[in-house]
Amino acid sequence: MPRKAPPVYLAEGQVTRLQQWVKAGSTPQQVVLRSRLALLAAEGMQDQDISETLSIQRRTVALWRRRVIDQGIGCVWDIAPGRGRRAKLNGKDVARIVKATLQSKPQGATHWSTRSMAVVHKVSKNTIQRIWQDHQLKPHRIKTFKLSRDPQFVEKLTDVVGVYLTPPQNAIVLCVDEKSQIQALDRTQPGLPLKPGRCGTYTHDYKRHGTTTLFAALQMAEGRVIGECYSRHRHQEFLRFLRRLDEEFPTDKSLHLILDNYGTHNHPKVRQWLKKHPRFVLHFIPTSSSWLNLVERWFAELSQKAVRRGAFRSVKDLERSIDEFMRVWNTNPCPFIWTASVESLLEKYEKCRRRLEEVKPGCTRRKTLKTAK
C-alpha cells in the first residue's frame, strides 16, 4: 500500500489567490499548473490521483507538494533561469524592428499592428508584442494635445498659477467656464442591468432631445460648485451668471475669476458691468490651455458620472440630473489641489516646443498681438 502524502493546509485567502492565478489569462501556464496542483493537494487528493488528473509525473506532484508545504504558495512563481526556447532574434534584429516602429508606417494604414509588423519582418506577432512591451511602444494608442501660441503665454501662465499657489488675501478664487452643447440623449431601447459575469448595456444609437449649456464656478479653496443651466451661450447668459456669483458671496470679499478667452467673457457689455463691480478680478488663461482651468477637471467628473451613461427624455430631465449631481457634490465637496510650479510647466512647454520645431519649423511660432489703430 503506497504511503500517504503529507497534507497541504491552505488558508481561505491562499485558496482564493491560487484560484485567481488559475483564472487570469496573463498567468504563465507553468504557474497555472502548479496552482491547480496545490489546490488539488489542499482538497486531500493523493499524488497519484493528481498526477492522473493533471497528466504530469507523480514525482513532479510530490516535489511541488513539498515546496508548497515548506515555502508557501508564492513558490509556484519560481521559474528557473535559462528555461524555455532561446530567442532567435539578435540585438540588431530587435533594433531594426524598434526603428521601423518609430520611423515608418505600413502601406495603406496610419500605424503598425503586431500582425502587420510581423509579416514585414517575418517573425511571429507574439515576438513583436514582446519587443514592443520591452521598449514601451504602443503604436495603437494616441493622445491629443495642442501647444499654445498665445503671445502672452508666459504672463498669463504666471498670473494664473500664482493665484492657485498663493491665493490673494480676503478674496475668493473661482474657476469659471461654460460646458456648452450638453446633449439630452435617450436610448432607442432599454439597457440591460449589471449582473455577475456581465456588464450593463445600452444601445449604440440614440434620440436627441435638445441641448443645454452649464455655466459653473468652482470655488478653489472648498471645492464647492455654483452652476446654472441656460438654453443659450451668449454674453447675456454670462452676465446673469456673474450676477448670481455677486449675490452668492459676501460683499466684503473680492472675487478672482479664472477664465478662458471665449468671446462672451470680453464682450463690451460684460466689461461695462465689471467696471461697476470692481470686486470682480479676471485672470485669463492662455489660449489652447483649458487644462489650466480647474473647473475643467470637475466637468470631467460630471460627464463621466452623470451624463455620459445617462438616458434623458428631455432637456429638463438632463438639467435635473446635472442639478442633482451638483447638490450631491456640494454636500461633501472635494477641492482639486494645484501643485505644479511655473518653472516646471515652462520647462515642459519648451521641451515640447523644441520637439515640434524639429518636426515642422515655425509651427509653434507665437501669434503677434493685434495693435489698435
Domain map of the chain by residue range? 12-77, 91-134, 159-191+202-331
Kindly tell me if the per-residue pLDDT of 91 is higher than 90.
no
pLDDT (tens digit per residue) in 145-184? 888 888 999 999 999 999 999 999 999 999 999 999 999 9
pLDDT of residue 373: 40
pLDDT of residue 370: 56
The CATH architecture to which 159-191+202-331 belongs is 2-Layer Sandwich (3.30)
Domain 12-77 and domain 159-191+202-331 have a common topology = no
pLDDT of residue 372: 43
Kindly report the average pLDDT of the chain as a whole number: 90
User: Does residue 161 contact residue 340 with C-beta atoms inside 8 Å?
Assistant: yes
pLDDT of residue 87: 60
pLDDT band at 77 (very low <50, low <70, confident <90, very high): confident
Long-range contacts of 106-112 (CB under 8 A, 24+ apart): 111/139, 111/140, 111/142, 112/139
User: Does residue 240 contact residue 317 with C-beta atoms inside 8 Å?
Assistant: no
The whole-angstrom separation of Cα 241 and Cα 237 is 6
pLDDT (tens digit per residue) in 4-62? 888 888 888 898 999 999 998 888 888 999 999 999 999 989 989 989 999 999 999 99
Residue among 300, 265, 264 at smallest CA distance from 283? 265
pLDDT (tens digit per residue) in 129-138? 999 998 999 9
Q: Is the pTM of this model over 0.75?
A: no
Distances (CA, A) of 269 to 235, 276, 319, 368: 8, 11, 28, 26
pLDDT of residue 318: 95
pLDDT (tens digit per residue) in 266-309? 899 999 999 999 999 999 999 989 999 999 999 999 999 999 98
Q: Which helix (H) or strand (E) holds 284?
A: strand 280-284
**CATH classification (class only), 12-77:** mainly alpha
